[in-house]
Copies of this chain bind each other. A is one copy, B any other.
Amino acid sequence: MMSRLAPRWPAWLFWWQAACPQGVSAQQRTWAGASRIPGPGGPWGATGTSPLVRRGSSSAFSCAPEVVLTRERYSVRRLPFSVVSEDDLAALERIVPGRVITDPEELEAPNVDWLRTVRGSSKVLLRPRTSQEVAHILRYCHERNLAVSPQGGNTGMVGGSTPVFDEIIVSTALMNQIVSFHNVSGVLVCQAGCVLEELSRYVEERGFVVPLDLGAKGSCHIGGNVATNAGGLRFLRYGSLRGTVLGLEVVLADGTILNCLTSLRKDNTGYDLKQLFIGSEGTLGVITAVSILCPPKPSAVNVAFLGCPGFAEVLQTFCTCRGMLGEILSAFEFMDAECMKLVGLHLHLACPVQESPFYVLIETSGSGAGHDAEKLSGFLEQVLGSGLVTDGTLATDQRRIKMLWALRERITEALSRDGYVYKYDLSLPLDRLYDLVSDLRARLGLHAKHVVGYGHLGDGNLHLNVTAEAFSPSLLGTLEPYVYEWTARQRGSVSAEHGLGFKKKDVLGYSKPPEALQLMQQLKALLDPKGILNPYKTLPTRT
Contact = CB atoms under 8 A, between A and B. Distances in A.
Contact of A459 (B257, B265, B375): B265
B538 A264 contact: no
Given A366-B327, A491-B262, A268 B522 contact: no
Interface stretch (A99-107, A413-421, A497-505): A497-505
A47 to B, nearest CB: 29
B461 A265 contact: yes
A264 B496 CA distance: 9
Nearest to A501: B268
Given A273-B519, A325-B367, A371-B375, A511 B267 contact: yes
B273 A430 contact: no
A7 B280 CA distance: 54
Interface in A423-464: 427, 430-431, 456, 459-461
Interface stretch (A37-45, A112-120, A239-247, A354-362): A239-247
A266 B366 contact: no
**Contact-residue size bin, chain A (C-beta under 8 Å from the other chain):** 35 or more
Interface stretch (A122-130, A228-236, A380-388): A228-236
A516 B260 contact: yes
A494 B375 CA distance: 43
A344 interface: no
A523 B526 contact: yes
Contacts of A280: 271
A256 B515 CA distance: 8
A278 B272 contact: yes
Interface of A: 184-185, 228-229, 231, 235, 239-240, 242-244, 252, 256-260, 262-273, 275-276, 278-280, 284, 296, 298-299, 319, 322-328, 365-368, 371, 374-375, 427, 430-431, 456, 459-461, 491-500, 507-508, 510-513, 515-517, 519-520, 522-523, 526-527, 538-539
19 contacts: A240-B266, A242-B243, A258-B515, A258-B519, A259-B513, A264-B496, A265-B461, A266-B493, A267-B495, A268-B499, A269-B493, A269-B510, A270-B500, A271-B284, A272-B278, A273-B519, A299-B326, A325-B367, A326-B368
